[in-house]
Amino acid sequence: MRKRDTRVRLPRSRSGQSVVEFALLLVVLIPIIVGAVDLARAFYDYDVLAHAVNEGARWASFDNSTDNIKSAVQNASGSLSMQTSDVTVTCYVGLTTTTNSCASVVVGNSISVQDRLVFPPPTPRSESPITSRPG
């Protein structure tokens, strides 16, 4: 009596299936990784900007020249390449919202240092082919 072969035979090669699964996985993973890198850069730039504004406020605590305060912010911004025109220095009388000339700041007055930065993401954004409209 002859024995039957009950083993299940697999196809010779399944490497094509692995390549297809990997390609489908990359379609999802690459945007997630690139988005994470962009988000990390945005947080880094925010941290540098906050440090630069704090440095300007520290400088304003002993120098009431708005040009010097703006220069301190610009120098502390480092890699952001800020311009002095992006920095706003406002002086207030005491703790009120009445603005004052920064040249006449006395002890007890408040100085506000603000900066503006537009974050340019390094990865290009394109419209989805599904939602784009011709013409």
10 falls in which pLDDT band (50, 70, 90)? Answer: low
Say which residues have a Cβ less than 8 Å from residue 76's Cβ, sequence separation at least 6.
51, 52, 55, 56
Q: How many CA atoms lie within 13 A of 96 on its CB side?
A: 5
Closest CA to 121 of 28, 30, 42, 46: 42
Q: What pLDDT is recorded for position 26? A: 92
Domain ranges of the chain: 16-115
* Joined tokens for residue 53: 């504004």
d(Cα 122, Cα 37) in Å, to the nearest integer? 9
d(Cα 108, Cα 61) in Å, to the nearest integer? 10
Question: Is the pTM higher than 0.85?
Answer: no
Model pLDDT for residues 12-58, shown as the tens digit of each residue:
666 678 888 889 999 999 989 988 988 898 898 889 999 999 998 88
126 falls in which pLDDT band (50, 70, 90)? Answer: low
d(Cα 53, Cα 123) in Å, to the nearest integer? 27
Q: Please provide residue 17's backbone torsions phi and psi, each rounded to the nearest 5 degrees.
A: -65, -40
Q: Report the chain's mean pLDDT, rounded to a whole number.
A: 79
* Joined tokens for residue 6: 């009950």
d(Cα 119, Cα 4) in Å, to the nearest integer? 70
Max mean pLDDT range (7-16, 88-97, 100-109): 88-97
d(Cα 97, Cα 109) in Å, to the nearest integer? 11
Whether 97 contacts 72, CB under 8 Å? no
Residue 105 has pLDDT above 80, yes or no: no
